[in-house]
Structure 1
């Protein structure tokens, strides 16, 4: 049973990427304060679309870190009560103009048609949400790791990527190292 008392359904068992792989065709931009404004605008849009649902919305990713260069794609994470109850959130997000891009176990991704906003949906309590916030909060306060991460991103973005996911995967080692330092720095 879920928090809402509805029986829990099985989640999807495989990743479905609607539209297939996409080449990385954007570069890095210097930090832009408008990204925070975009986040707030989309947060309101999501909360309005999901007014009947109990959701949490956070700004994540590089655009959420002042001073960090980023691909000009604003990432948000939405925590929902039950990821399998898509009728509670996905229908509202689609009606608000977002398009489904990824459906995989424990995670859904919708984005704007312009592909400049990605909305990651997870079930409340999913460790991935904690990990996003851990990285964001550490990069906001640690200039050395922020500079390291930007350096790695600049090196990687200079290469050709036929699949944007491959670029993201190539950052995994530095992200793991930064998150390990973030955990170690906690009181």
Structure 2
């Protein structure tokens, strides 16, 4: 079966908080210049659904870094006033075609993940002011500005993707070592 990056993800039919199974290797593809356009179309849909409740909408993750290979899934960061207040935004996102897949606390921060309409995407929702927002956006911006770290990250991802995984989160967790290595350089340069 050929992957279609414009097709919605089959995960939308799963119950909330069901882990995504891989049962094999993770598929990575070369950077697709269509990803920013795909993001923008979804960002417009999110802003239309939530209005000023969408405090921040940003393209994040590997598909937001030109030249970086990625899983063919557009990651979007959305900040709302209080991500734990589902009634304030979940019904409107669902009416716009998004499906809640994860409802959790992540390092003490309320975090929601939706799958989306039209394309394979993960919409990550955090509360405004969460340190997770800066962590994700700072890492994205660093990789955009530092091709040597972008390439180091790509190399680690390629190596890890070739291994067999039961769940997608295991692959994501395995990237922590290289992410921490790059983050340490970011922090060192910021202090200098």
For normalisation by structure 2, the TM-score amounts to 0.84
Sort the Cα spacing of 1:26 and 1:115 in 2 relative to 1 into closer, same or farther, 3 A.
Answer: farther
Provide the rounded CA distance (Å) in 1 between the counterparts of 2:160 and 2:117: 26
Provide the rounded CA distance (Å) in 1 between the counterparts of 2:29 and 2:19: 26
Aligned residues: 172
Provide the rounded CA distance (Å) in 2 between the counterparts of 1:172 and 1:55: 28
Show the 5 A alignment for 1:1-187: 17-23=16-22, 26-51=26-51, 53-105=53-105, 106-112=110-116, 116-186=120-190
> Residue 54 of structure 1: CA displacement?
4.4
> Residue 20 of structure 1: CA displacement?
3.5
How much is the aligned-residue C-alpha RMSD, in angstroms? 1.8
Sort the Cα spacing of 1:69 and 1:179 in 2 relative to 1 into closer, same or farther, 3 A.
Answer: same
Would the aligned equivalents of 2:45 and 2:96 in 1 still touch at CA under 8 Å?
yes
Structure with bigger strand share is 2
Would the aligned equivalents of 1:134 and 1:179 in 2 still touch at CA under 8 Å?
no
Provide the rounded CA distance (Å) in 1 between the counterparts of 2:142 and 2:153: 11
Provide the rounded CA distance (Å) in 1 between the counterparts of 2:66 and 2:57: 19
Task: Give structure 2 stretches of 5+ with no counterpart.
Answer: 1-14
> Residue 83 of structure 1: CA displacement?
1.5
